[in-house]
Amino acid sequence: ADLLITFSIAQETSETRAIAATLPLWWRFLQCLRRARDSVVLKRGGAAKTHLLNAGKYSASIIAIWLRYNASVREDSHTTAVWIIAYVATGFSVCYSLTWDFFCDWSVLEFSPTSKWKVVVSTRRTLINSTVGWTFAVWFNVFARSAGLFAAVPGLPIQNLSTQVIV
């Protein structure tokens, strides 16, 4: 949103912020759907179920942003049903995204029917070789997922935090 406003392509409005916040999410959502199709039609790229669950992560974020946008336009009080629904959707989105990241992207947690839940240091640490750097990246991911979703629409508790700075 900040680049659109800077180059006078759009004006600073809550609609601009909501649209700009959801565009990358839509892009990734469509990529996940394409990968699911490729895995079924072309028999490559893993299981379709995995790609559809990953698409769910992005759709949950899109829905949460638009519910908060709707609440910010309609209601001033953050205790109305519209805001409560928006906050529940945001909480679900953040939990869904972090669960996906911890299990699939970062491999922080693993589940095995024989050993139950266990916390492990990533076995897939291919991009970050340092344990300290990897740990920082995981915690930054938690912060960025939470703050980025909350900052997407004006009128929220962290309204002055720019999404582009965080995400």
pLDDT tens readout for residues 73-82: 887 777 789 9
> At 160, is the pLDDT very low, low, confident or very high (cuts 50, 70, 90)?
very low
Mean pLDDT (whole number) for 41-66? 89
Q: Report the distance separating Cα 161 and Cα 167, nearest Å.
A: 11
- Of 116 and 147, the structure prediction assigns the larger pLDDT to 147
Answer yes or no: is pLDDT of 124 > 80. Answer: no
> At 35, is the pLDDT very low, low, confident or very high (cuts 50, 70, 90)?
very high
What local confidence, expressed as pLDDT, does residue 92 receive? 92
Q: From its phi and psi, is residue 110 left (phi > 0), alpha (psi between -120 and 50) or beta?
A: beta
Mean pLDDT (whole number) for 67-94? 86
Q: Report the distance separating Cα 114 and Cα 111, nearest Å.
A: 9
What local confidence, expressed as pLDDT, does residue 42 receive? 82
Answer yes or no: is pLDDT of 128 > 70. Answer: no
Residue 122: is it exposed, middle or buried by C-beta count within 10 angstroms (0-12/13-18/19+)? middle
Instruction: Give the lowest-confidence range in 11-20, 124-133, 153-162.
Output: 153-162
- Return the residue matching tokens 């992560």: 57
The tokens describing 148, both together, are 């980025």
What local confidence, expressed as pLDDT, does residue 29 receive? 96
- Of 75 and 56, the structure prediction assigns the larger pLDDT to 56
- Indicate the pTM of the whole model: 0.73
